Amino acid sequence: MSCGLKTFHRVAYQRVLKPILFCFDPEMVHDVFTFIGRKLGATKFGRAATAWMYRYQHSMLEQTILGIRFANPIGLGAGFDKNALLTDIMPSVGFGFEEAGSITGEPCEGNPKPRLWRLPKSRGLVVYYGLKNDGCEAIARRLRGKRFDFPLGVSVAKTNDQSTVEVEKGIDDYEKAFRALHEFADYVTVNISCPNAFGGEPFTTPERLDCLLDRLDKITTSKPIFLKLPVDISNDELDALVTVMLKHRVRGVVVSNLTKKRDRKEINQDEIRNISKGGISGKPTFEASNDLIKHLYKTTGHRFVIIGIGGVFCAQDAYEKIRCGASLVQLITGMIFEGPQLIGDINRGLVELLKRDGFKNISEAVGVDA
Ligand SMILES: Cc1cc2nc3c(=O)[nH]c(=O)nc-3n(C[C@H](O)[C@H](O)[C@H](O)COP(=O)(O)O)c2cc1C
């Protein structure tokens, strides 16, 4: 597609579609987009037309990581496609991979509505979904027999209710989701950092994480395991978690989840005054996640594959995460604010940035600033 048409898309989303969409309840808009995405993904024509409008490919962006081939480094973060309904259309939108979920042992209604708010000035969202999803058994049935045009990650978490608060019960729930889903995924992410679940985030302490990973180690699988980390941790706390990860089969880390720190300088306080619950995505997580990525890369080198996520709104943002040490990058909020053409724009921009800096492939830029 020509550059003129791409610019038209960007301007049309920013000036026309977004102002209309942002008048409506964000969860309702998300559900409508999921419905449209499913319909488009269901037909060859829908997929081809979407790819013609949005997808950008270039050999400089291709990598093979842990034996998995990624056509480009930009993935859809966990939380957008909670029930794995969009796996057919997202490759056409231009994503190099997707992380479906988070998916829990049991079906979960999530927290009461409203549970999603936009923060236009802070360029973020307040998220209080509380792991709404259809549960691992229904989603496993949905995925069985399907083929995917890109690598599929599956994020597992523990069911958000009273029954999983006790540590062993929580671990049982993770194990159930893991066992049900690993065969369909190229990698499995264990989400220990949902800020909106009953009982908090018990597995972000080294002792409990050790117990959880001990149990998951016993599952026979060839699929690499990633861990999704919280963003509101110090370097020392990260080091303590890394010590545990090194004892187990963890091959990668997703850095990182929503922030609960409401006094971050990027957050416009007027916007959140009347929203008392939830974690915040987008720009308020950008720097904090980059700092963790850099520290992790500096201290562990290539031991873990790092997927960087948090506040990516343009190619330069993605490039910064890569230069800090991320081999792959994910996003959600940037796409909601900038439109679906953002993925192609980022990939196109990355190629230009790589050429400017004399790299032949994206992998050469990983960690150069750490
Ligand atoms: C609507 C929404 C739902 C989310 N749900 C999940 C989830 O189920 N599991 C998870 O690991 N992260 C979840 N997240 C966190 C994102 O994956 C990501 O870590 C965070 O939003 C920062 O990235 P972003 O700034 O690109 O949105 C969610 C984020 C959003 C915006």
Q: Which residues pair with 152 in a beta bridge?
A: 98
Under the banding of pLDDT at 50, 70 and 90, the label for residue 233 is very high
Ligand 1 center from residue 101 Cα (angstroms): 10
Ligand 1 center from residue 330 Cα (angstroms): 10
pLDDT value of residue 8: 83
User: Taking residues 102-119, what's their average pLDDT?
Assistant: 96
User: Taking residues 276-294, what's their average pLDDT?
Assistant: 97
**Domains present along the chain, CATH in parentheses:** 3-365 (3.20.20.70)
Which residue has a Cα nearest atom 23 of ligand 1?
A: 310
pLDDT value of residue 118: 97
Q: State the closest ligand 1 atom to the C-alpha of 309, by its place in the atom list counted from 1.
A: 23
User: Taking residues 104-116, what's their average pLDDT?
Assistant: 95
User: Taking residues 265-276, what's their average pLDDT?
Assistant: 96
Q: Decide whether any atom of ligand 1 lies within 6 Å of the 125 Cβ.
A: yes
Rounded Cα distance between 182 and 285, Å, is 29
pLDDT value of residue 11: 87
pLDDT value of residue 6: 77
Tens of pLDDT, residues 337-358: 999 999 999 999 999 999 999 9
Q: Decide whether any atom of ligand 1 lies within 6 Å of the 127 Cβ.
A: yes
The preferred substitution site among 34, 111, 127, 231 for testing ligand 1, maximizing ligand atoms within 8 Å of CB, is 127
Task: Find the DSSP H helices in 134-234.
Answer: 136-143, 167-181, 206-217
Ligand 1 center from residue 45 Cα (angstroms): 30
Which residue has a Cα nearest atom 14 of ligand 1?
A: 79
Tell me the average pLDDT of the chain: 95
pLDDT value of residue 201: 83
* pLDDT over 90 (residue 111): yes
Ligand 1 center from residue 6 Cα (angstroms): 27
Comparing CA positions, the residue from 206, 249, 211 lying closest to residue 229 is: 206
For β-strands 116-119 and 279-280, DSSP reports them as unpaired
Instruction: Give this prediction's pTM.
Output: 0.97
* pLDDT over 80 (residue 276): yes
The preferred substitution site among 98, 229, 332, 336 for testing ligand 1, maximizing ligand atoms within 8 Å of CB, is 332
* pLDDT over 90 (residue 196): no
Q: Decide whether any atom of ligand 1 lies within 6 Å of the 334 Cβ.
A: yes
Ligand 1 center from residue 239 Cα (angstroms): 23
Under the banding of pLDDT at 50, 70 and 90, the label for residue 3 is low
- At residue 211, the 3 state secondary structure works out as helix
* pLDDT over 80 (residue 2): no
* pLDDT over 70 (residue 251): yes
Rounded Cα distance between 348 and 358, Å, is 16
Q: What percent of the chain has pLDDT over 70?
A: 99
Number of C-beta neighbours around residue 299 at 10 A: 14
* pLDDT over 80 (residue 1): no
pLDDT value of residue 166: 85
Under the banding of pLDDT at 50, 70 and 90, the label for residue 319 is very high
User: Taking residues 166-188, what's their average pLDDT?
Assistant: 96
What is the three-state SS of 12-72? Answer: HHHHHHHHHHCCCCHHHHHHHHHHHHHHHHCCHHHHHHHHHHHCCCCHHHCEEECCEEECC
Tens of pLDDT, residues 36-91: 999 999 999 999 999 999 999 999 999 999 999 999 999 999 999 999 999 999 99
Q: Decide whether any atom of ligand 1 lies within 6 Å of the 77 Cβ.
A: yes
